[in-house]
Structure 1
Amino acid sequence: MTWSLVVRILWARRLLVLLPLVACLLAGLYVIAVAPKQYQASARVALNYIKPDPVTGTVIPSKMVDAYITSQVRTIRDIQVAGPVAQRIGGLDNPALIAAYDAATGGRGGDFERWAANRVVASTTVGRVADSNLIEIRFVSTSPEAAADIANVIRDAYIETTLEGRRRSAEGAAELQLKLAERARDELLALQVEKAGLEKQTGVVLADGGIDIEQERLGSLTAPPRTLKTRLRLGAAARGPYEVALARADAALQSLQASLGPQHPTVIQKQRERAILAAQVAQAASRADRTARMTALEEQLKATMIEAQKEKVISRSDEVLTLRVHEDEISQKRRAFADAMKRALQMRQLATMEESGLSPIGEVVVPSTPIYPNPPMIIGVCIALGLAIGVLGCLLTEMLRLRVRSADQLEVAVGLRVLAVMPQIKMASRSRAAGAPSRGRVSFWRRRAATA
């Protein structure tokens, strides 16, 4: 089937196209004239998820922003927001609304508040403003003033519900953290009592940081001391000046003896000075020997003490390890207690704040033009619907009552080649000119003859 054939079919059955089109246009005009006008007002709210929380300092990750906005949209269209809105606008005390509820439920009654809230939800739509952190609350009503007022009420109820939810959540979190802190405190006290019992039983006492006192004492004993060689070097250094002076005195004395003689008073004086220096050198050597012997005794005593301290440390290693395990558990419980108390304080502070994380943007403007009925849209839809119905009706009728409307269609139908096409001759005008009765008159007389 070619487009030219479709055009011929539509033109031949143009009445089947025009009738649905006219009917749809009339229906659209009727809807435009009769349908009540509906006005839509919008209120915007800024979601402050970009800034960190003033108490906890947490920020919503970028991957969770879409989920967060979706949850906020669902919250606005939930019963927890729509219920207070229905109560504030007086819907729960409206006789007309109560009568509509009775008519809708058949007088069986039920949850009237939820039914009224669902009516608010049905007229509310929420969407995100593109490329921003704003969401737009839209409400549709038959009155522009009512639409603006209810949109503003929905926004206020949403902010208050969010703030109340944050407070309840913070209170619950604070109570939970206080319970965790109390549990950590009890466990901390039990561990401290158990540690004290072990210290009393084993005689092992750990210093701050879980350091064993005996281990620390062993470390001080094993610190690098002055060795015997070092002390001998120090002793040699102590008697070194006397030996140098003695050597110089010997050299001077030999020179004087050679020049002045052994009995010269100067030589005798130098001999006396040399004897004094020799006595000092002998005393220094004696002190160095005593120092060396004392150093050796100290080293032996220290080695003995180190060995004894090592044995003591090794013998109580198991008790020290047990106490260190208890000390680590006590440190963990102490940190857990401090963290739980800190979080509980933060949640208590958050529960008393007036920060909801939401900010109203601008005032709700009373709409001046209705969104429904929309004449251009209705007329366009009616034209499209009428044409679709008419075209489909024509094609279905043509399929049920096939006719040959072109030479190509005839060739396909009979399988022969068409040699010529005769033009259509209007016989009605010639028959009227010759005085022949019209088709209507002939059919009339035929019906009269059949009924006679």
Structure 2
Amino acid sequence: MGANRLILILLARWRVFGWTLVVTVLTTLVASVAMPKTYTASTTVVIDYKGGDPLTGSAFPSDLMAGYLATQVDIIGSHAVAACVADALKLSEVPAYRERFGKVARKARARAVFRDWAADKLLEDLDVSPSRESDVITISFAASDPLFATDVANAFAQTSIRANVELKLEPVRRQAAWFDEQVHALRGALEKAQAELSSYQIEHGVLAAGDKLDVETAHLSDLSAQLAAAKGQMYDSGARAQQMRDAAARGGVDELPDLLQNPALQVLKAELARTEARLAEVGSRYDWNHPQRQAVAAEVSSLRKMLAAEVANAMGAIERAAELARQRVADLEHAVAEQRKRILGLGAEQDKLSVLKREVENAQRVYDAALQRASQLQLESRLEGTNIAVLSPAVPPLKPSKPKVLLNLVLSVILGGGLGLAFVLLFEFKDRRIRSAEDVIDELGLPLLAEIPPEGMARPRPFQLAVRSAF
């Protein structure tokens, strides 16, 4: 259908189009006037995610901001927040709400809870929308009373902020309580480990790992040095004793270095030599029975006995020195063996002491870490601040948001025009008529010879007749 044909149809049935449009507009106007007025109050909250955590100083990841805003929108529009708003506004004391709830409860024949029902009713008129290019969330509530709408919008903002604080603090409080229990248990484990270490140190007389072992090791080194020196002395004394025995076997004791270096023996030898010389001199002058000769001979005999006794003493001293050296070596070898056993025993003690000290250190380290975390959680559990704040509180609206009469009238004109056009086409299809030359050709399939203008119009000249043929 062409535009020219449609215009002709509308001109022919303008009354149907006009009445449809007028009825639609009037109906919309009456309905808009009769509709109860609704007032919408709006408040805005801003999320400051750039401030960072006040305790740790860590910044909020910017790539998670979109999800964080969506989470805040869900929290504000949650049933739990709405229930808290109902409690804060004391809707249970409002007669209108109680009456509506009573009707719903009787109709449903169920034990409904007023708090949940009121929360659902509040959510029906609540609109939460985040800004596209900022960190601001708008909270709007529509109601017939502008003051009530304002109170509800502000209540949702404040309640959502408190809900955020509780959502943040509740897990922190649980963690703090758990860490307090762990700190108590770790303190007991640390005290037990320290008690075991102290008891072991007192029992074995050691203050620190390695102290006593170092002392005993140094003592072993000293004993080893003494043993080496004693063995040297033993070998030297043994060699001297063996040399003495060999010299005694061949009768050359006087040739021994120890005897040659003995000053008492040298004095006795010199005195004996002088006395023997004097005896020879006296013997050359006197007979054996002469008193002077006998006196000198007695002196020589006495000196020889003294020399023999001194030689025997010197040889005994050498034997005793060799025996003492052997005994000292044996004693030192026994002491070194006992010291080695003691060091081996001390090694086991030191290992046990090191294990106990490591247990104390590990327990102390774990306890310090848990105590630090528990202290941080205690501070976080007391931190009631949040990064969400009210940017602009809701104020009572002066004009109703619904109904929008002008918008409704514009929409009714569009709707009435569409309905009028639909009715015109419907009537036209039911009662089809010839409106133009095209209808004759298209609908009847006959050739058109001429067109007669409507009455009142100028008569066309003969050559102006439009002769058309179907051929």
On the 8 A contact 2:441/2:448 being kept in 1, the answer is: no
- Measured at CA, do residues 351 and 421 of structure 1 come closer, stay the same or move farther in structure 2, by a change above 3 Å? farther
Could you say what secondary structure the match of 2:390 adopts?
strand
Q: Distance in 2 between matches of 1:72 and 1:174?
A: 25
Q: Distance in 1 between matches of 2:191 and 2:428?
A: 96
Alignment of 1:351-430 (within 5 A): 351-414=381-444, 416=445, 418-423=447-452
TM-score (norm 2): 0.57
Could you say what secondary structure the match of 1:106 adopts?
helix
Could you say what secondary structure the match of 2:142 adopts?
strand
- Measured at CA, do residues 395 and 344 of structure 1 come closer, stay the same or move farther in structure 2, by a change above 3 Å? farther
Alignment of 1:6-405 (within 5 A): 6-107=6-107, 108=109, 109-178=111-180, 338-405=368-435
Q: Distance in 1 between matches of 2:120 and 2:161?
A: 19
Could you say what secondary structure the match of 2:414 adopts?
helix
Q: Which one-letter code corresponds to 1:420 in the other structure?
A: L
> Shift of residue 116 of structure 1?
0.9
- Measured at CA, do residues 60 and 331 of structure 1 come closer, stay the same or move farther in structure 2, by a change above 3 Å? farther
- Measured at CA, do residues 132 and 19 of structure 1 come closer, stay the same or move farther in structure 2, by a change above 3 Å? same
Q: Distance in 2 between matches of 1:190 and 1:45?
A: 54
On the 8 A contact 1:407/1:418 being kept in 2, the answer is: no
Is the radius of gyration larger for structure 1 or structure 2?
A: 2
Deviations 1:153-207 (A, max 9, x none): 22222222222232212102223444566787789999999999xxxxxxxxx98
Could you say what secondary structure the match of 2:451 adopts?
coil
Deviations 1:95-119 (A, max 9, x none): 2211111223434241111111112
On the 8 A contact 2:440/2:448 being kept in 1, the answer is: no
- Measured at CA, do residues 425 and 337 of structure 1 come closer, stay the same or move farther in structure 2, by a change above 3 Å? same
Q: Distance in 2 between matches of 1:18 and 1:106?
A: 48
> Shift of residue 331 of structure 1?
8.2
Deviations 1:117-175 (A, max 9, x none): 11222222122234322222212222222222222222222222222232212102223
- Measured at CA, do residues 382 and 183 of structure 1 come closer, stay the same or move farther in structure 2, by a change above 3 Å? farther
On the 8 A contact 1:40/1:140 being kept in 2, the answer is: yes
- Measured at CA, do residues 347 and 421 of structure 1 come closer, stay the same or move farther in structure 2, by a change above 3 Å? farther
On the 8 A contact 2:42/2:393 being kept in 1, the answer is: no
Structure 1: gaps of 5 or more residues: 197-205, 218-315, 427-452
> Shift of residue 81 of structure 1?
1.6
Q: Distance in 2 between matches of 1:36 and 1:54?
A: 49
**Partner residue in 2 for 1:275:** none
Deviations 1:214-262 (A, max 9, x none): 9xx9xxxxxxxxxxxxxxxxxxxxxxxxxxxxxxxxxxxxxxxxxxxxx
Between stretches 164-173 and 397-406, larger displacement belongs to 397-406
- Measured at CA, do residues 393 and 330 of structure 1 come closer, stay the same or move farther in structure 2, by a change above 3 Å? farther
Q: Which one-letter code corresponds to 2:385 in the other structure?
A: E
TM-score (norm 1): 0.59
Could you say what secondary structure the match of 1:64 adopts?
helix
Say what the alpha-carbon RMSD is for the aligned residues: 4.7
Could you say what secondary structure the match of 2:386 adopts?
coil
Q: Distance in 2 between matches of 1:113 and 1:29?
A: 38
> Shift of residue 27 of structure 1?
1.6
Q: Number of residues paired by the alignment?
A: 329
Deviations 1:80-99 (A, max 9, x none): 22112222323112222111
Q: Distance in 2 between matches of 1:327 and 1:9?
A: 106
Q: Distance in 1 between matches of 2:437 and 2:359?
A: 101
Could you say what secondary structure the match of 1:63 adopts?
helix
Could you say what secondary structure the match of 2:134 adopts?
coil
On the 8 A contact 1:181/1:336 being kept in 2, the answer is: no
**Partner residue in 2 for 1:262:** none
Q: Distance in 2 between matches of 1:16 and 1:123?
A: 40
Deviations 1:277-302 (A, max 9, x none): xxxxxxxxxxxxxxxxxxxxxxxxxx
Quick one: percent identity of the two aligned structures? 25
Deviations 1:255-277 (A, max 9, x none): xxxxxxxxxxxxxxxxxxxxxxx
Could you say what secondary structure the match of 2:447 adopts?
coil
Q: Distance in 1 between matches of 2:391 and 2:68?
A: 19
- Measured at CA, do residues 409 and 54 of structure 1 come closer, stay the same or move farther in structure 2, by a change above 3 Å? same
Could you say what secondary structure the match of 1:392 adopts?
helix
On the 8 A contact 2:169/2:384 being kept in 1, the answer is: no
- Measured at CA, do residues 155 and 418 of structure 1 come closer, stay the same or move farther in structure 2, by a change above 3 Å? same
> Shift of residue 401 of structure 1?
4.1
> Shift of residue 352 of structure 1?
1.1
Q: Distance in 1 between matches of 2:169 and 2:449?
A: 92
Q: Which one-letter code corresponds to 2:7 in the other structure?
A: V
